[in-house]
A = this chain, B = another copy of it.
Amino acid sequence: SGGGTGGGATWAETTQIGGYGELHYNNLDGSGGASDKDELDFHRFVLFVNHQFSDNIRLFTELEIEHALAGEGQPGEVELEQAYVEMDLNDYHRAKAGVFLLPVGILNETHEPNTFYGVERNPIEKNIIPTTWWAAGAGLSGELGQGFSYDLGVHEGLRITDATSFAVRGGRQKSAEADASDLAYTGRLKYTGMPGLELATTLQHQTDITQGSVANAGSANLFEAHGIYSKGPFGLRALYARWDLDGSGPETVGADEQFGWYIEPSFRLNEKWGLFARYNEWDNRAGNSSQSEMTQVDVGVNFWPHPDVVLKADYQMQDNDNGQDQDGFNLGVGYQF
């Protein structure tokens, strides 16, 4: 059926629309066998529709168009990244059920382009934490006092295969007819008790990261920790994440250990301009001696003509163990509302 019409604008008091978007231009030169990249792409177009059922029950939803064009034979995708109902249990604790962003890392839950430096997201939170990472399930969140808060969740697991050497990013099921044979459990502890500081750590257990589809692989654990600090014009972000995969399958290709870390100092020149540098290191096959470690340095600038609008420029330099580097510059436009 559908909502009625009439009744004035009162619906807009409990239902809200928002969104964000980012256009990327990549101009990269490949060496050592890596490909060039010369591309304009509206990478992410997102709409939020949220609703307040009552003082203590609310809905959050997020719909995304990736790569501007979705359909048979097209590069893009339409993705439902959030759709969950949250209920307050009391003043300090709340429960949720539905599809939600997993509580891990810095960017996974807060990735509007005006909130971070760099045209592209950092490679650790792409390849080790497979951001944007959402799952269907249920969870608890709350305040523990003295600046500590927590999140707990049980949700669909990853489903990775040996065809992609057990790299975790390929395993996201995206709540779309997701195999729920083997669920996963996530817990996060966060401290925001000092002004300008956030410290957080996440642990996740996957009961079978292949959902029973690969005989010589099974459970896996993720550990992640990060810090965000800002003092006056200075900012600092640092993050470490590491996977341990059980089974001889991952071990054979060195994917039993997958890890990465980055550190990102930044400096705000004024209200509108900011500079950053970032050192990134990661390896999706760190369990053996193969030449698989990747290293990337980024330096760049953000310009905010309005706090919710950003223009970005950066330069990336890779120094990968396999010698296949992509170096060059990126430009971006982003907004949030």
A residues with a Cβ closer than 8 A to B are 1-19, 21, 23, 25, 27, 38-42, 45, 47-54, 57-63, 65-80, 82-83, 85, 87, 97-99, 101, 109-112, 136-137, 155-156, 173-181, 305-306, 308-309, 311, 333, 335, 337
- With A4-B16, A53-B335, A67-B176 known, 19 other A-B pairs at CB within 8 A are A1-B109, A3-B18, A3-B48, A6-B52, A11-B16, A21-B83, A23-B98, A40-B137, A41-B178, A45-B83, A53-B306, A54-B306, A57-B305, A69-B77, A69-B79, A71-B71, A71-B72, A76-B176, A85-B335
By the criterion CB–CB under 8 Å, are B38 and A83 in contact? no
By the criterion CB–CB under 8 Å, are A306 and B80 in contact? no
* Copies in the assembly, this chain: 3
Contact partners of A333 in chain B: CB under 8 A: 85, 97-98
State whether A311 and B18 are in contact (beta carbons under 8 Å apart), knowing that A12-B12, A176-B76 are contacts in the complex: no
Contact partners of A5 in chain B: CB under 8 A: 14, 16, 50-52, 58, 60
Contact partners of A49 in chain B: CB under 8 A: 17, 19, 47
By the criterion CB–CB under 8 Å, are A68 and B9 in contact? no
Task: Report, nearest first, the 7 A-B pairs whose CB atoms are least far apart.
Answer: A3-B18, A69-B176, A71-B77, A9-B12, A68-B176, A51-B337, A2-B48
Contact partners of A40 in chain B: CB under 8 A: 136-137, 155-156, 173, 175, 178, 180
By the criterion CB–CB under 8 Å, are B25 and A57 in contact? no
State whether A15 and B13 are in contact (beta carbons under 8 Å apart), knowing that A47-B49, A77-B74 are contacts in the complex: no
By the criterion CB–CB under 8 Å, are A99 and B23 in contact? yes
State whether A2 and B175 are in contact (beta carbons under 8 Å apart), knowing that A70-B70, A79-B68, A136-B41 are contacts in the complex: no
